[in-house]
Amino acid sequence: MSSLLFAGVGRTVPSKVKLLLSFSSRCAISNSDFLNYPLKTLVLQSPNAGFKLSNVRYKSNTTVGRSATESNGKKVRLVAGAALVAGLVAGLSHFQRAEMKSTVAVHSETGKKDADDILEKCTCFMSEPVTDIQVLQKNKEEMRTKMEMMILQTQAEFCKAVAEVDGGTFQVDRWDRKEGGGGISCVLQDSNIFEKAGVNVSVVFGQLSEEAAQQIRSRGKSLKRKDGKLPFCAMGVSSVIHPKNPHIPTIHFNYRYFEIEEADGSKLWWFGGGTDLTPTYLNKEDAVHFHKTLKDACDKHDRKLYPEFKKWCDNYFFIKHRGERRGVGGIFFDDLDSPTKEDVFDFVRSCAKAVVPCYIPIVKKHLNDSFTSEEKQWQQLRRGRYVEFNLVYDRGTKFGLVTPGSRIESILMSLPLTARWEYMHEPPKGTKEAEMLQVLRNPKDWAQ
Query: CB–CB of 181/10 below 8 Å?
Result: yes
DSSP, collapsed to helix, strand or coil, labels residue 214 as: helix
Shortest distance, CB of residue 192 to its own copies, whole angstroms?
17
Given the complex with its own copies, which of 196 and 353 has the nearer CB atom?
196
Shortest distance, CB of residue 114 to its own copies, whole angstroms?
37
Q: C-alpha distances in angstroms, 9 versus 3, 95, 242?
A: 13, 33, 23
Give a three-class secondary structure readout of 16-29: EEECCCCCCHHHCC
Dist CA 55 CA 221 (whole Å)? 7
In the complex, the residues that contact its own copies under the rule CB under 8 A are 171, 173, 187, 189, 196, 198, 320-322, 380, 384, 387-388, 391-392, 401, 406, 408-409, 411-413, 415-424
Q: C-alpha distances in angstroms, 325 versus 40, 190, 276, 364, 431?
A: 39, 26, 11, 25, 19
Q: Helix 355-366 and helix 341-353: axis angle, to 10°?
A: 10
Query: CB–CB of 66/140 below 8 Å?
Result: no
Given the complex with its own copies, which of 59 and 321 has the nearer CB atom?
321
Given the complex with its own copies, which of 316 and 446 has the nearer CB atom?
316
In DSSP terms, 238 is beta-bridged to 200, 254
Shortest distance, CB of residue 434 to its own copies, whole angstroms?
17
Shortest distance, CB of residue 243 to its own copies, whole angstroms?
16
CA angle (60, 65, 69) in 5-degree steps: 105
Give a three-class secondary structure readout of 216-242: HHCCCCCCCCECCECEEEEEEEEEEEE
Q: Are strands 231-243 and 12-18 parallel, antiparallel or unpaired?
A: unpaired
Dist CA 174 CA 123 (whole Å)? 15
Dist CA 187 CA 278 (whole Å)? 19
Dist CA 126 CA 87 (whole Å)? 10
Q: Are strands 250-261 and 231-243 parallel, antiparallel or unpaired?
A: antiparallel
Q: Of 252, 289, 291, 301, which is the active-site residue?
A: 252
Catalytic residue list contains 252 = yes
Given the complex with its own copies, which of 121 and 196 has the nearer CB atom?
196
Shortest distance, CB of residue 402 to its own copies, whole angstroms?
9
Shortest distance, CB of residue 389 to its own copies, whole angstroms?
10
Q: Which helix (H) or strand (E) holds 258?
A: strand 250-261
DSSP, collapsed to helix, strand or coil, labels residue 184 as: strand
Annotated catalytic residues are 252
